[in-house]
Amino acid sequence: MQDNVRDLLGKEISCLDKGFVRLIDVMGDDDAIVQAARVSYGEGTKRVTEDRGLIRYLLRHLHTTPFEMVEFKFHIKLPIFVARQWIRHRTANVNEYSGRYSEMKDEFYVPAVEQIRPQSVTNKQGRSEQAMPPDVASRIVSQMEETQRELYDEYQSLLGDNLARELARINLPLSNYTEWYWKIDLHNLFHFLRLRIDPHAQYEIRVYGEAMAELVKQVVPIAWEAFEDYILHSTKFSRNELAVLASILPADLPEEASLEKFGLKGREAREFLEKVRLHLQRS
């Protein structure tokens, strides 16, 4: 394990008001991706530039199996409603804090006043960009805090009556914090982050995604660069949309050498021109 990665282990990044993301363990790095792709080569027999080119080629062409050779294990503290969104990604190993065996903690998520916003009129599952009036937002925050206190007091009272923990917990709100260990390979982690650090993702889970991204990019900087170029900041076009683009593209394509100023050179530049030519022929 490289020294810079070892220094990241145990590092805690605060999330929301009481949560965190902590990197517990890592298996593999950029070299592990290259090794898995080449299988038979010995460490040190290839130049860094060649390794970078290979990693970029793999992700560009969606040859994702080598990325599964890198794994991350996180310790995460998060509100239950965020955890329920998160667990939709069924590609990780998860072990969560149990309210059946342990007493739930008196820790609840309370949104910052600036996050108290009305329902969006254009997005049925999201909040508006428009802020609530300050007095209304403050009243809502106070109401949330009061309800959380009342429900936790009730929970403690039920425990005092010797009600089983698995039953006493059922009226606790989704704002209650939980914790889990979450282990996932890099291929599936990239998919998770593509969705959860997108600007359209819910703010609360996006905070966690951004914290994880800060750690991941330090462990696999070459793979992360490729992820940003080919997945995170890329887009797809439908057949009809491509037909529109074909109708406005110039008949004469640029020379390969002229593409270097856009970061495209060598094989990547040739692949780009071939994709454009192929679509023009189909159109």
> Which pLDDT tens digit goes with each residue over 52-97?
999 999 999 999 999 999 999 999 999 999 999 999 999 999 999 9
**Residue bearing the bigger pLDDT, 41 or 260:** 260
For the chain, where are the E strands, in sequence order? 12-15, 19-27, 71-79, 93-96, 177-185
| pLDDT tier for residue 47 given thresholds of 50, 70 and 90 | low
Over residues 119-126, mean pLDDT? 87
What band does 248 get if pLDDT is binned at 50, 70 and 90?
confident
pLDDT at 225: 97
pLDDT of residue 39: 81
- In this predicted model, what pLDDT tens digit does every residue of 148-205 receive, in sequence order? 999 999 999 999 999 999 999 999 999 999 999 999 999 999 999 999 999 999 999 9
Q: What is the pLDDT of residue 168?
A: 98
Q: Which residues carry out catalysis?
A: 196
- The more confidently predicted of residues 239 and 229 is 229
* pTM score: 0.91
Residue 41 has pLDDT above 60, yes or no: no
Q: What angle do CA 75, 196, 106 make, to 5 degrees?
A: 45
196 vs 283, residue with greater confidence = 196
Q: Over the chain, what is the mean pLDDT?
A: 92
Percent of the chain residues past pLDDT 90, beyond the cut = 72
Give which of 176, 166, 148, 145 is closest to 79, Cα–Cα: 176
* Residue type, position 152, single letter: Y
Residue 215 has pLDDT above 90, yes or no: yes
Backbone φ and ψ of 15, nearest 5°: -135, 135
Return the amino acid letter for 161. D
Q: How far is CA 132 from CA 16, 108, 117, 118, 237, in A?
A: 20, 22, 5, 7, 37
255 contact partners, CB below 8 Å, separation of at least 6: none
Amino acid sitting at position 252: D
